[in-house]
Amino acid sequence: MQNAKDSFYVALRTRLVEINPERTILLRSAVRPGILVEEAEGPFAQLPADVFVLRWPGLAVEQDLPSAMVAEECEVLYSTLGTQSFGGLDRGRALTEMDVELTEMLSPYWTPKLNYRATPAAAMLTNVFWDVPVFGAVTAVRDRLSRVARVVVYSYAEAGEAG
């Protein structure tokens, strides 16, 4: 399960760098692509704006198949206040930009499963794949626009795969 989550995150991160290399975040003194996994960072008082935050709330396992299929629900949360140079009046445009980026990041809808416990990451036998995203409604809190997109990520448990 962890390999699938890691592979999904790294695939999206790699694709984001290609799609919009300007979207970055300064986190723990390092400039990184603007996407992070919430459970792998320190707690946030408020989620950072203009980056994609992955959260993993749901899990289901189908065991009747020759290889158990794991379905993990991923929430991609993102928000923006627009830019200072436009006084935040471009926040709608900024959110649309992120909608487009996320849509592009998710395509193609699969990536090879890698084991990131190993260094360098070791290729596994199967692919991780996911469904089309379901975009939630925009929520506005003062000048912050936010959206949550839900993606179900599927993978097959491989023999000897820990976690």
Residue ranges in contact with other proteins by CB under 8 A = 64-66, 71, 129, 131-132, 134, 150, 152, 154
| CA neighbor of 102 nearest in space, from 57, 143, 140, 54 | 54
Residues contacting residue 88 through CB under 8 Å, at least 6 positions apart: 81, 82, 143
Residue 150 Cβ vs other proteins, minimum distance, rounded to whole Å = 8
Q: Is the peptide bond before 120 cis (omega within 30 degrees of 0)?
A: yes
Cβ-based nearer residue to other proteins, 89 or 132: 132
Task: State the Cα–Cα distance between residues 133 and 154, nearest whole angstrom.
Answer: 13
Cβ-based nearer residue to other proteins, 71 or 77: 71
Residue 129 Cβ vs other proteins, minimum distance, rounded to whole Å = 8
Parallel, antiparallel or unpaired: strands 110-115 and 30-33: unpaired
Cβ-based nearer residue to other proteins, 13 or 113: 113
Residue 161 Cβ vs other proteins, minimum distance, rounded to whole Å = 17
Residue 30 Cβ vs other proteins, minimum distance, rounded to whole Å = 36
User: How many other C-beta atoms lie within 10 A of the C-beta of residue 46?
Assistant: 8
Cβ-based nearer residue to other proteins, 17 or 69: 69
